[in-house]
């Protein structure tokens, strides 16, 4: 199985390594972004057929990570647009905007399939071809409306998922793959920010002091999974490692004898239940990051703020009312 990526290069090399540097490490080519050496994969031949296949995969990926009910067929685009444009209630309009984005997204995928069929039949598909322009317009509008859509967790949107097919449409596949490595590096960075926050805060609370190696093991497995494609042979080792590390974190129990709360420095009581809830939320957020392989800056920032609040106050902060964007 592939070795787990090194967190950062040695301090003496830090200034010498620039973003996008490639090196062979243990026989595997890796690219350097955000302080991580990320596993690379050969980009497929830059053909319309390859782009069609990739856009279809990205379409499935998008609807797998966004809130439910947005996978509207492209054939219903006119209905979706009318429903959105005539809606006046802001909350309902947001959801209908997401449905319109889904219809636009699927319309672009439909057009791309037709373009590939034309190419197979010997038609020279140029960039100024009307269907090509229509495909790009649909993707651009879907990207704009995609800012209304939340991640399936309900915490924030992941605009990047809506923009990926447009990048496939407008860039070479080699350039697209490079953009994904950048996002994976940012994702790894956020995984470690969450893990560092958990370790720094919870190890100060005696009943949670032993949690550090469990968190670190989960973060290492998460980084490895985020760089490993499902088509990679290593996935049969990487995915089980990641899942079981998450299970061990979920099962982490405070030190024996802990009651409902624990005191820090003899004065501040920490709710054990709130602490365990916070640990579970961190595990879930890292799972979201790894599966999307895209940073979630708002969720990451707000989670770290909750960890800091818990350390200072011994309880979770009150949750604000959920309001539509």
Q: Tell me the β-bridge partners of 38.
A: 31
What percent of the chain lies above the pLDDT cut of 70?
86
Last residue of a domain, one of 114, 142, 171: 171
Encode pLDDT of 179-201 as tens digits.
899 999 999 999 999 999 999 99
Three-state DSSP class for residue 289: helix
Does the residue 181 lie in any domain? no
- Banded pLDDT at 4 (limits 50, 70, 90): very low
Token output for 195: 């893990």
Does the residue 254 lie in any domain? yes
- Identify whether the C-beta of residue 193 lies closer than 8 Å to the C-beta of residue 304: yes
Angle value at C-alpha 68, between 64 and 69, nearest 5 degrees: 115
- What is the extent of the structural domain holding 74? 48-171
Looking at the fold, whether 61 and 166 belong to one and the same domain comes out as yes
- Identify whether the C-beta of residue 289 lies closer than 8 Å to the C-beta of residue 226: yes
Over range 16-35, report the average pLDDT: 92
Three-state DSSP class for residue 317: coil
Q: Is the pLDDT score of 264 beyond 90?
A: no
Token output for 159: 């605009």
Looking at the fold, whether 52 and 142 belong to one and the same domain comes out as yes
pLDDT at position 249 is: 96
* DSSP code for 230: T
Number of domains in the chain: 2
Q: Which residue has the tokens 């699927």?
A: 106
Looking at the fold, whether 197 and 165 belong to one and the same domain comes out as no
pLDDT at position 11 is: 39
Q: Which residue has the tokens 């959920």?
A: 322
Say what the alpha-carbon torsion angle 230, 235, 238, 242 is, to the nearest 10 degrees: 50
- Banded pLDDT at 129 (limits 50, 70, 90): confident
79-83, 225-229, 253-257, 312-316: the lowest-pLDDT one:
253-257
Query: What is the number of other CB atoms lying within 10 angstroms of the CB of residue 321?
Result: 5
Q: Is the pLDDT score of 212 beyond 80?
A: yes
pLDDT at position 113 is: 81
Looking at the fold, whether 207 and 280 belong to one and the same domain comes out as yes
Does the residue 83 lie in any domain? yes
Q: Tell me the β-bridge partners of 263.
A: 269
| Sheet order of strands, 28-33 included | 22-25, 28-33, 36-39
66-70, 270-274, 292-296, 317-321: the lowest-pLDDT one:
317-321
Last residue of a domain, one of 171, 198, 214: 171
Looking at the fold, whether 241 and 128 belong to one and the same domain comes out as no
Does the residue 111 lie in any domain? yes
Looking at the fold, whether 158 and 212 belong to one and the same domain comes out as no
Looking at the fold, whether 306 and 230 belong to one and the same domain comes out as yes
Q: Is the pLDDT score of 25 beyond 90?
A: yes
Does the residue 285 lie in any domain? yes
Looking at the fold, whether 112 and 160 belong to one and the same domain comes out as yes
| CA 165 to the chain's CA centroid | 16
Looking at the fold, whether 210 and 302 belong to one and the same domain comes out as yes
Looking at the fold, whether 141 and 55 belong to one and the same domain comes out as yes
Last residue of a domain, one of 107, 140, 171: 171
Looking at the fold, whether 163 and 214 belong to one and the same domain comes out as no
pLDDT at position 245 is: 97
Looking at the fold, whether 155 and 232 belong to one and the same domain comes out as no
Nearest Cα residue to 45 out of 164, 169, 173:
173
Nearest Cα residue to 113 out of 173, 176, 161, 53:
53
> CA-CA distance, 172 to 83, in Å (whole number)?
36
* DSSP code for 315: S
Does the residue 53 lie in any domain? yes
Does the residue 35 lie in any domain? no
Does the residue 8 lie in any domain? no
């Amino acid at each position: 199985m592939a070795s787990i990526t090194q967190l950062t290069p040695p301090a003496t090399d830090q200034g010498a390594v620039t973003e996008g540097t490639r090196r062979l490490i243990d026989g595997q080519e890796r690219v350097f972004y955000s302080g991580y050496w990320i596993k690379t994969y050969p980009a497929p031949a830059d053909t319309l057929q390859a782009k069609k296949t990739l856009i279809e995969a990205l379409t499935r990926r998008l609807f797998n990570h966004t809130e439910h009910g947005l996978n509207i067929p492209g054939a219903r685009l006119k209905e979706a647009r009318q429903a959105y444009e005539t809606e006046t209630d802001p909350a309902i309009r947001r959801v209908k905007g997401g449905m319109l984005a889904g219809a636009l997204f699927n319309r672009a995928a439909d057009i791309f399939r037709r373009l590939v069929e034309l190419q197979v039949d010997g038609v020279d598909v140029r960039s100024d071809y009307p269907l090509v322009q229509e495909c790009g317009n649909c993707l651009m509008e879907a990207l704009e409306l995609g800012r209304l859509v939340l991640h399936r967790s309900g915490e924030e949107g992941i605009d990047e998922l809506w923009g990926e097919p447009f990048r496939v449409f407008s860039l070479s596949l080699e350039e697209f793959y490079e953009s994904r490595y950048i996002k994976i590096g940012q994702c790894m960075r956020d995984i470690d920010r969450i893990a560092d926050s958990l370790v720094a805060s919870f190890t100060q609370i005696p009943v949670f002091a032993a949690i550090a190696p469990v968190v670190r093991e989960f973060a290492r497995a998460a980084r490895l999974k985020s760089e490993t494609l499902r088509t990679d042979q290593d996935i049969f080792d990487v995915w089980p490692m990641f899942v079981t590390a998450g299970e061990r974190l979920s099962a982490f129990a405070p030190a024996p004898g802990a009651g409902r709360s624990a005191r820090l420095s003899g004065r501040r009581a920490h709710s054990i239940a709130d602490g365990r809830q916070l640990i579970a939320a961190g595990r879930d957020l890292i799972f979201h990051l790894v599966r999307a392989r895209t940073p979630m800056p708002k969720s990451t920032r707000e989670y770290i703020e909750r960890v800091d609040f818990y350390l200072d106050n011994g309880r979770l902060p009150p949750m604000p009312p959920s309001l539509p964007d």
